[in-house]
Amino acid sequence: MSRVLLVCNQFPKFSESFIVRKFLGLVGDGWDVHVACNRSDDEQWGHFASLLPRAEFASRVHVLDSLEALLDELRPDLVHFEFGHHARGGARTAVLAGARVVASLRGNDINANGLDDPEFFTDLWETLDGLHVLRGALFDRAVQRGCPPGLPHVEIAPAVDTAFFRPRKRAREDGPLRVLSVGRLHWMKGYPTALHAMALLRDRGVAFEYRIAGAADYGEGKIETVFAIHDHGLEAAVELLGPVSQHEVREQLDWCDVLLHAAVSEGFCNAALEAQAMGVPVVCTNAIAGNVVDGQTGLVSAVRDEVGLASSLELLAHTPRLRRRLGVTGRRRARREFALEEQIDRFSDWYRELLATRPEGAEARMLRIRLRQAQDKLQELEFERERLARDVERRESVEAVRELVHEHVPEDERVLVVSRGDESLLELGRVAGHFPQSDDGRYLGHHPASSADAIAQLELLRDHGAAFLVFPRTGLWWLEHYRGLRDHLEENYTRLAVDEQSGAVFELRAVA
d(CA 312, CA 94): 48
Residue 217 has pLDDT above 70, yes or no: no
Which of 314, 322, 315 has its CA nearest to residue 202? 314
Which of 99, 59, 96, 103 has its CA nearest to residue 75? 99
Q: Is residue 86 very low, low, confident or very high in pLDDT (cuts 50, 70, 90)?
A: confident
DSSP secondary-structure letter at 278?
T
d(CA 270, CA 104): 15
Q: Is residue 219 very low, low, confident or very high in pLDDT (cuts 50, 70, 90)?
A: low
Average pLDDT value for the chain? 91
Which of 319, 284, 281, 275 has its CA nearest to residue 302? 284
| 388: exposed, middle or buried (Cβ count in 10 Å: 0-12, 13-18, 19+) | exposed
Q: Residue range 268-292: average pLDDT? A: 91
Residue 83 has pLDDT above 60, yes or no: yes
Instruction: Kindly report which listed range (225-234, 303-312, 360-369, 490-499) carries the lowest average pLDDT score.
Output: 360-369
> How far is CA 94 from each of CA 98, 134, 467, rounded to the nearest angstrom?
7, 23, 63
Q: What type of residue sits at position 466? A: A
447-506 residue pLDDT tens: 999 999 999 999 999 999 999 999 999 899 999 999 999 999 999 999 999 988 889 999
d(CA 222, CA 32): 39
> How far is CA 476 from each of CA 471, 497, 501, 505, rounded to the nearest angstrom?
6, 12, 10, 10
Q: pLDDT > 90: what percent of the chain?
A: 68
Number of neighbours of residue 114 by Cβ within 10 angstroms: 15
Residue 218 has pLDDT above 70, yes or no: no
Residue 343 has pLDDT above 60, yes or no: yes
H or E element: which one contains 390? helix 362-408
Query: How many CA atoms does the CB half-sphere of 203 hold within 13 Å?
Result: 12
Q: Is residue 510 very low, low, confident or very high in pLDDT (cuts 50, 70, 90)?
A: confident
pLDDT at 290: 76
Buried b or exposed e, range 478-510, using 16+ CB within 10 angstroms: bbeebeebbebbeeebeeeeeeeebbbbbbbee
pLDDT at 170: 65
Q: Residue range 177-186: average pLDDT? A: 93
CB 262 within 8 A of CB 191: yes
d(CA 396, CA 380): 24
- 280 or 111: whose pLDDT is higher? 280
pLDDT at 360: 66
Q: Is residue 370 very low, low, confident or very high in pLDDT (cuts 50, 70, 90)?
A: confident
Buried b or exposed e, range 133-145, using 16+ CB within 10 angstroms: bbbeebbebbeeb
pLDDT at 454: 96
- 42 or 362: whose pLDDT is higher? 42
Residue 161 has pLDDT above 90, yes or no: no
Number of neighbours of residue 300 by Cβ within 10 angstroms: 21
Instruction: Kindly report which listed range (165-179, 266-280, 483-497) carries the lowest average pLDDT score.
Output: 165-179
> How far is CA 440 from each of CA 396, 437, 443, rounded to the nearest angstrom?
29, 8, 9
d(CA 215, CA 238): 16
pLDDT at 366: 75
Instruction: Quote the pTM value.
Output: 0.67
3-state SS assignment for residue 102:
strand
d(CA 259, CA 281): 6
